């Protein structure tokens, strides 16, 4: 089934293999405009049924890493347009992953030197890269400043603006990054969210920001072309797993369903429970949500076929194997050997480990 086509609303995908969103830190930091190397990297991977772009900051303060391509101005949208045109000409489809890093950031990444934005004052024990005298240097994330209620409205507006630019840039849709301990996930997290306003306390309040973002983005883009990413049980980026996952994630799935949101992307950071057909979460999400479910975390061909056959997902997202195998779809189809990925070049900049992984034909 992995190699069969899939249709969702007006979107037709040639297979059910999704290239997972992966930050690669390859663009110019000052402008955050996609460049020719990025265009070539994505073109090489156009045989995925759907590509989800690397995280795309929706504003300067949303940035948490160096050299991440963004979507807050027309020059950035024009850069992405060249990329989406090239990918479409190669037969691909691509969503932009709209991203706000929140507390996983540093003031040196922001043009105005502003401190990271947070749900609360709680700092992350995590690292990021900044430029120190022009050289990428790993540093601790800085303590965030909690967003005021009115600043939260500004963040919602930034996501809506980025969605408008994504449309202008020719993206087929967008993924709202609600996973992995970034800003929208920070609001969900009861260990971090100690707010006493309408965005803290009960589950509905902790998901209020994400749903306001969803509604604002859906005013710009067909809801059937919107995806939301979640990472149940996730602990990456100094998070604590949700204490009530079987209540939390079906809740957000029902809310997305009610809004006709086309895709819900579930990432198992541990690459374990999502492969266990008896685990209750994917079944509960299937009951709660009528759109397309994307499963991610440690999938290759056999694992992918199994979750599709169980009916617990419609599409399978694959990350690291796509970095190392531009022709991953053909390799999986032919059961060919895969190139190994080189983690040292994931965020290293330059073409090595980016554009030079060989195809089968090569």
Q: Are 49 and 14 in contact (CB under 8 A)?
A: yes
Residues of this chain, 62-91, that bind ligand FMN according to CB under 6 A: none
Candidates 6-14, 121-129, 190-198, 313-321 — which segment interacts with ligand FMN by CB under 6 A? Answer: 313-321
Q: What is the largest CA-CA distance in the chain?
A: 59
SS3 for 297-315, per residue?
CCCCHHHHHHHHHCCCCCE
> Is 54 near ligand FMN (CB under 6 A)?
yes
Q: Looking at the annotation, which residues are catalytic?
A: 182
Segment 109 to 148, residues that bind ligand FMN, using CB under 6 A: none
Q: Figure out which of the listed residues 2, 13, 20, 147 binds ligand FMN, where binding follows CB under 6 A.
A: 20
Of 239, 120, 245, 101, nearest to 183 by C-alpha is 101
Interface residue with ligand FMN, options 319, 327, 328, 331 (CB under 6 A): 319
Distance of closest approach, residue 193 Cβ to ligand FMN, in angstroms: 20
Buried b (16+ CB within 10 A) or exposed e, 134-167: eebeeeebbebbbbeeeebeebbebbbbbbbbbb
Q: Give one DSSP letter per residue of 74-111, joined into a string.
A: HHHHHHHHHHHHHHHHTT--EEEEEE--TTS--GGGST
Q: Does 320 bind ligand FMN (CB under 6 A)?
A: yes
Measured from the CB atom, is 228 or 296 closer to ligand FMN?
296
- The answer to the question of residue 97 lying near ligand FMN (CB under 6 A) is yes
The answer to whether 322 touches 328, Cβ cutoff 8 Å, is yes
What is the size of the binding site for ligand FMN (CB under 6 A)? 21
Select from 45, 110, 161, 177 the one that contacts ligand FMN (CB under 6 A).
177
**For 6-24, b where at least 16 C-beta lie within 10 A, e where not — what string?**
bebeebebbbbbbbbbbbb
Pick the piece of the chain touching ligand FMN (CB under 6 A) from 28-36, 166-174, 239-247, 312-320.
312-320
The H-or-E segment that residue 250 falls in is: helix 245-258
Contact 41/34 with Cβ under 8 angstroms? no
Whether the Cβ atoms of residue 202 and residue 258 lie closer than 8 Å to each other: no
Task: Pick the piece of the chain touching ligand FMN (CB under 6 A) from 14-22, 115-123, 152-160, 217-225.
Answer: 14-22
Selected binder of ligand FMN within 8, 13, 18, 23 (CB under 6 A) = 23
CA 297 and chain centroid, separation: 13
Which helix (DSSP H) or strand (DSSP E) does residue 333 occupy? helix 328-334
- Residue 244's CB is within 10 A of a number of other CB atoms, namely 10
If one asks whether residue 289 binds ligand FMN (CB under 6 A), the answer comes out as: no
Select from 36-44, 88-96, 156-164, 315-323 the region that touches ligand FMN (CB under 6 A).
Answer: 315-323
Q: How far is the CB of 320 from ligand FMN (least distance, A)?
A: 4
Q: Does 172 bind ligand FMN (CB under 6 A)?
A: no
Q: Which is nearer to ligand FMN, 78 or 236 (CB)?
A: 236
Q: How far is the CB of 195 from ligand FMN (least distance, A)?
A: 24
- Of 1 and 271, which has the nearer Cβ to ligand FMN? 271
**Contact region with ligand FMN (CB under 6 A), list: 141-149, 208-216, 285-293, 294-302:** 294-302
Pattern 201-230, ligand FMN, x by CB under 6 A: ----------------------------x-
Of positions 22, 78, 224, 288, contacts ligand FMN by CB under 6 A: 22
d(CA 170, CA 222): 14
Q: List contacts with ligand FMN (CB under 6 A).
A: 20-23, 54-55, 97, 177, 179-180, 229, 267, 271, 296-299, 318-320, 346
């Amino acid at each position: 089934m992995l190699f069969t086509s899939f249709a969702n609303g007006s979107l037709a995908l040639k297979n059910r293999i999704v290239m997972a969103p992966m930050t690669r830190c390859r663009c110019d930091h000052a402008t955050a405009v996609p460049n020719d190397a990025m265009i070539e990297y994505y073109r090489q991977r156009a045989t995925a049924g759907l590509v989800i772009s690397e995280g795309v900051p929706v504003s300067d303060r949303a940035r948490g890493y160096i050299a991440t391509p963004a979507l807050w101005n027309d020059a950035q949208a024009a850069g992405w347009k060249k990329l989406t045109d090239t990918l479409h000409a190669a037969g691909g489809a691509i969503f932009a992953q709209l991203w706000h890093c929140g507390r996983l950031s540093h003031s040196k990444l922001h043009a105005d030197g502003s401190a990271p934005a947070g749900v609360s004052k709680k700092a992350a024990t995590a690292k990021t890269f900044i430029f120190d005298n022009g050289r990428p240097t790993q540093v601790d994330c800085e303590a965030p400043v909690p967003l005021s209620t009115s600043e939260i409205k500004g963040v919602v507006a930034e996501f809506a603006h980025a969605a408008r630019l994504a449309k202008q840039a020719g993206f087929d849709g967008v993924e709202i990054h609600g996973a992995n301990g970034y800003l929208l996930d920070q609001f969900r997290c009861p260990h971090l969210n100690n707010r006493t306003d309408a965005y803290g306390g009960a589950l509905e309040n902790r998901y209020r920001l994400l749903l306001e973002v969803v509604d604002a983005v859906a005013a710009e883009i067909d809801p059937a072309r919107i995806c939301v990413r979640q990472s149940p049980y996730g602990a990456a980026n100094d998070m604590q797993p949700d204490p009530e996952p079987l209540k939390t994630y079906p809740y957000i799935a029902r809310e997305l369903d009610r809004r006709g949101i086309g895709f819900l992307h579930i990432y198992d950071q541990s690459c374990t429970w999502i492969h266990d057909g008896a685990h209750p979460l994917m079944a509960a999400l299937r009951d709660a949500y009528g759109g397309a479910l994307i499963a991610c975390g440690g999938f290759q061909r056999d694992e992918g076929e199994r979750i599709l056959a169980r009916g617990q997902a419609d599409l399978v997202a694959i990350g690291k194997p796509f970095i190392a195998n531009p022709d991953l779809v053909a390799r999986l189809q032919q059961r060919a050997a895969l190139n190994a990925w080189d983690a040292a070049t994931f965020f290293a900049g330059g073409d090595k480990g980016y554009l030079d992984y060989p195809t089968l034909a090569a």
